[in-house]
Structure 1
Amino acid sequence: MRAMNRPDTSGAQTVDRAVAVLRLLASAGESGLRLIDLQHASGLSKPTVHRLLTSLLQHGLVEQDEDTRRYRLGMEMAVLGWSVSSGRADLRQLCGPDMQALADETGDTAFLAVRSGYDTVCIERKMGPYPIKAFTVDVGTRRPLGVGAGGIIMIAALPEDEAELVFESIREPLRAYPNVSEPSLRAAVARAREDGYALSDGLVMTGVRGLAVRVSDAHGAPMAALSLSAVQDRIRPERVPALVKALEERRKRIERSLAGPGRRLR
């Protein structure tokens, strides 16, 4: 990252730096980050980070809390997100009813996540009636691929060479998650390939388990991960088959909707 502190002679370099800052803020969520946090996490100099933040603030892509002075993503980011092409923008709306039905049926919390580079991003969450909730992530939360059942199933869906590239790329970010080691993640991915679903046991939060299946688009390509999360006692081994069945039934319904009328999924 040291090379990024050289004089900015490239517009592309400025864009790369701005994107890195935005991704760090996305990972922090509503709590935001201080200038010094962004400086350390990005590896950029303090003047460079300040200059980027000033520009992003002017465009509404970033906002600063008047009390804490922390930075977080601005409303303009949401506006840009709403302008995404219809197939992806409608994904939350399309999956919402089936996710709520899944949450109601199982009593637990249902999540929908998509891949963004070497991260997963939670784009929807639906709560079931069970009184003890497992709020492992909020909508908009960004985590390295492999942290959680959704990320595991996404890696499992990749060809071997692409999966290896992911393992190499997330090695450093995984240091922030003491419950996740590369050997254990590789083993979880191997099991997910064999089983057709992913199981996460305390990877995100101690005492919480998750199950996930892959959602494919109309062409059979991986598009998202549909998952359930609950306290450990709720996802006991004897209950896993029923939960996986419920996930698979909702996955099939979602994929039929993605394929559209008159089309068949591969």
Structure 2
Amino acid sequence: MSTQTLERAIGLIRILAAGGAEGYRLVDLQQTSGLTKPTVHRILGTLKQQGMVEQVEDSRRYRLGQEMAVLGWSANRTVYDLKELAAEDLGAVAAKTGDTAFLSIRSGTETVCIDRQAGAYPVKAFTVEVGTRRPLGIGATGVALLAALSPDEAETVLDAVKGSLARFPDAGLRQIREAMQRAQQAGYALSDGLMLKGVRGIAVVIRDGAGRPIAGIGTAAINDRLPPSRISEIVRILRIHANHVEQRIATAESGTGTGSVRRFRAAEGKQTAHKRSK
């Protein structure tokens, strides 16, 4: 398989990931990818043989296959499960703010929401479902991650996603660049209507042990819940819990833990006991 074919196959996999269980028609994949119909059909055939793509019998639509889930499970077990590591802190953000808390990871030029927890405030801002993929720069976590990239990489991402921004009429390249610049100056991202009018989101970046921005943790609420006077307190809460998650990631990557919250806590307990014994 040539490098070009491999890149095209990965691109189709990313598109299919956004289609969920319903999947996409062949013509949809062709139009979205910009590839010819024979090329798309040939790549899909190979991916089907490997179990990474399946075709729904009734609708003839394509979607990700079971092998993709198996590979994802294997990756999480051998590295760490970020959703599991961050679950307690995401819940704490929702509890402390009273609003909806989100955890999203970076996947190439997109973000993927991997967890969402609701706060106690009765009016919820469910701006995105778990599993939803969006271009980097859309939503607070997308802005935060985009702002954390180098200037060259950020421009490469913006060039790649500009064709998919039509789905977000309030988030053109100019608006995203402005939000990105504000995030770089402030150290946190504010999405004011970029995703949904009347809703504001705030997010900060989560970095791995090497300092690379890999995820974002944030909250979203109706405008009245996020006046300027409240932003600093929300940011403080987000930074505290983003730092907790980063510490857990560092522990998992160092080999002290395996990515399991239970084992991470066991490692913490051993360290505490060791300190007390001194």
TM range (shorter): 0.7 to 0.9
Equivalence for 1:146: 137
**2:243 alignment partner, SS class:** helix
C-alpha spacing 1:164/1:16, structure 2 compared with 1 (3 Å): closer
Q: 1:99 aligns with which of 90, 114, 137?
A: 90
> Could you list the per-position Cα deviations for residues 72-127 of structure 1 after superposition, in whole angstroms to 9, with x for gaps in the alignment?
22222111111116575321111111111211222222222222222222222222
Once the 2 structures are TM-superposed, how far is the Cα of residue 24 of structure 1 from its aligned partner?
Answer: 0.8
Q: Is the 8 A contact 1:82 1:89 kept in 2?
A: no
Equivalence for 1:235: 226
Instruction: Tell whether 2:63 aligns with 1:72.
Output: yes
Structure 2: tracts of 5 or more residues without a match: 252-267, 272-278
Q: CA RMSD in A?
A: 2.3
CA distance in 2, matches of 1:37, 1:152: 27
**2:115 alignment partner, SS class:** strand
Q: Which moved more, 1:57-66 or 1:171-180?
A: 57-66
Once the 2 structures are TM-superposed, how far is the Cα of residue 232 of structure 1 from its aligned partner?
Answer: 2.6
Equivalence for 1:3: none
Q: Is the 8 A contact 1:200 1:209 kept in 2?
A: yes
State the TM-score, normalized to the length of structure 2: 0.81
C-alpha spacing 1:208/1:28, structure 2 compared with 1 (3 Å): farther
C-alpha spacing 1:72/1:131, structure 2 compared with 1 (3 Å): farther
Letter in 1 for 2:19: A
Whose RCO is larger (CA < 8 A, sep 6+)? 2
Instruction: Tell whether 2:133 aligns with 1:161.
Output: no
Equivalence for 2:164: 173
Instruction: Tell whether 2:10 aligns with 1:16.
Output: no
Instruction: Tell whether 2:117 aligns with 1:126.
Output: yes
C-alpha spacing 1:225/1:162, structure 2 compared with 1 (3 Å): same
Matches within 5 A, 1:39-54: 39-54=30-45
Once the 2 structures are TM-superposed, how far is the Cα of residue 37 of structure 1 from its aligned partner?
Answer: 0.8
Give the length in aligned residue pairs: 253
Structure 1: tracts of 5 or more residues without a match: 1-9
Letter in 2 for 1:244: V
Q: 2:108 aligns with which of 103, 107, 117?
A: 117
Quote the sequence identity (%).
Answer: 50
C-alpha spacing 1:142/1:88, structure 2 compared with 1 (3 Å): farther
Equivalence for 2:19: 28
Q: Is the 8 A contact 1:83 1:89 kept in 2?
A: no
